[in-house]
Homo-oligomer: A and B are copies of this chain.
Amino acid sequence: MASLWLLLGLLLSSSAEAGKLLVIPSDGSHWLGMKPIVEELGRRGNQVVVVIPEASLSMGPSEHTTTLTYPVNYTKAELKASIADEFNTILSIDISTDLAKFQAFIISLDVLQMFILRNAEGLLFNKDLMKKLQEYNFDAVLTDPFEPVGAIAGEYLSIPAVYMLINHPCGVDTLSSQCPAPASYVPQAFTHFTDRMNLWQRSVNLVRTLLQPMACERMFARADEIASHVLQRKASMVEIMSHAALWFLRFDFAVEFPRPLMPNMVMIGATKGPLTKELEEFVNGSGEHGFVVFTLGSMVSQLPEAKARVFFEAFRQIPQRVLWRHTGPVPENAPKNVKLMKWLPQNDLLGHPKVKAFITHGGSHGIYEGIYHGVPLVMLPLFGDQGDNVQRLVSRGVAETLSIYDLTSEKLLVALRKVINDKSYKEKMTELSAIHRDRPIEPLDLAVFWTEFVMRHKGAVHLRPAAHELNWIQYHSLDVIGFLLLILVTVIFVTVKSCMFCFRKCFKKTQKKKKE
């Protein structure tokens, strides 16, 4: 019905309203989320130009758009090898303490940053291409703030920017949009806290909240230098992104803990692909017990042998069939109910009526697909925001979580049997799914509408709060409090002095009288 609505819109609005849109996406699953929106914008008659590096993991041409590429000083093989290396480190080393996990995360983020910055230089220092982009005279830029390249390019071209993100390691969306995030119930990223925190957790969260600006400074140190060089002025990523026309947040309060928003934030949730009919035979053959889907995301297709054995042993003991994305060595006596695959049509399988559970690392795409189709989860968080996603779903009673580091077949079996046999998981997930799917307008249509809105109106100035014109002291009313205290002190001082003066006058008179 949504597409009928769009079709009608297309027919009636014609190309008179069409705009020129620059798209600078980010790699990996980020591009997978942005691509359908970009293609729909092109299909509706907008001139969409997607600018990507020659070497990338997943980015490539899209329909109804023009793709421009630029050379970068690394190859796709280097990028892949480096990322695989990071994941192997995470999977093999025993980093069971929180601090060790955090250190491993920071190190892997730094490796990622290195490529992100080389990508940014590849585009921004490419004078010919930047000149060409300027000549296009774009109405807006749609980009992912996970990488600084698009934000800096948009600022350089002086065009309104639409930022689409799932979440950001240093919370640049909250900082740049000046969105209030009370530390008492809005957990910071990577704390793995829920919105119900005890005193100790709230203390950690407050410290984390206060440190966020410094975290962004550290993370964007080199990006700030590149921005300053390109823009020929002292610039910072937080300041550049504070000029955002709109923020598209790819989450839904069916998952995210409720928290304040700003008027220029649009919750576009997750877009989903269509269902196909692959693997029908294997999953239909699973009978009344149904089947389980198991994948650790697009980045990890191979587990160390010892870890893999844990899974094989557990799967041998369940009546369900298992579809597993696994490219590592297979033991000789691998159980018959397990089908190994190089690639899984995850969304199709989760949409199948016989699916019973989804074993996942907890990436955003996966969990939203799981919720959309109402499938209970067993979560094995590895990296990034996955640990936080776990909290959001476990606290709603729709998922069990396990640590990949000290996993045993028994633990896996307990969790798997729980989410499959305890009806409450499926019931709560069905409820969550109903809420998540019940929207006045489809995420894709919403994203398309607001991107076109920004192009039509040359930004969204009416949604920009005056907070951006205040400094830190003014924003927190510290000058006002000082001013009010000054008035109070002055009033008290004057009152006391006046009283003392009157008192002395009267007292003197009395003394004089007495003397007389």
Interface residues in chain A, defined as those with a beta carbon under 8 Å from any beta carbon in chain B = 1, 4-5, 8-9, 12, 179-180, 182-185, 195-196, 199, 202-203, 206-207, 253-254, 257-264, 432, 434-435, 438, 440-441, 445-446, 449-450, 453, 456-457, 462-467, 469-470, 474-477, 479-481, 483-484
Q: CB-CB < 8 A to A475: which residues of B?
A: 182, 184-185
Please report the C-alpha to C-alpha distance between residue A28 and residue B37 in the assembled complex, in whole angstroms: 44
Taking each of A202, A254, A440, which has the highest tally of chain B beta carbons within 10 Å of its own beta carbon? A440
A453 touches B465 (CB 8 A): no
Number of copies: 2
Contact of A484 among B203, B446, B474 (CB under 8 A): B203
Report B-chain residues with C-beta under 8 Å of the C-beta of A185.
465-467, 469-470, 475
Q: Which chain B residue shows the least CB distance to A13?
A: B1
Q: Give the contacting residue for A440; candidates B259, B445, B456, B469; CB below 8 A.
A: B445
**Which B residues touch A435, using CB under 8 A?**
457, 462
Residues on the B chain within 8 Å of A450, using CB: 440
CB pair A457–B480 under 8 Å, yes or no, is no
CB-CB nearest 10 A-B residue pairs: A195-B466, A180-B180, A258-B465, A440-B449, A185-B466, A258-B263, A260-B260, A203-B480, A202-B480, A185-B467
Q: A184 and B474: CB pair below 8 A?
A: yes
- Is there contact, CB below 8 Å, between B441 and A440? yes
Please name all residues of chain B whose beta carbon is closer than 8 Å to the beta carbon of A469 when the two chains form the complex: 185, 196
Q: Which residues of B contact A179 (CB under 8 A)?
A: 260
Residues from chain B with a CB closer than 8 A to the CB of A483 are 199, 203
User: With the chains together, A453 CA to B203 CA distance in Å?
Assistant: 37
* List of B residues within 8 angstroms of A261 by Cβ: 260-263
Contact check, A253 vs B263: say whether CB atoms are below 8 A apart: yes
Cα(A264)–Cα(B56), bound, Å: 40
Cα–Cα distance between A195 and B178 once the two chains are bound (Å) = 15
How far is it, in angstroms, between the C-alpha of A182 and the C-alpha of B260 when the chains are bound?
12
The distance in angstroms between the C-alpha atoms of A434 and B462, with both chains bound, is 12
B199 & A480 in contact (Cβ 8 Å cutoff): yes
**A478 — nearest CB in chain B belongs to which residue?**
B184
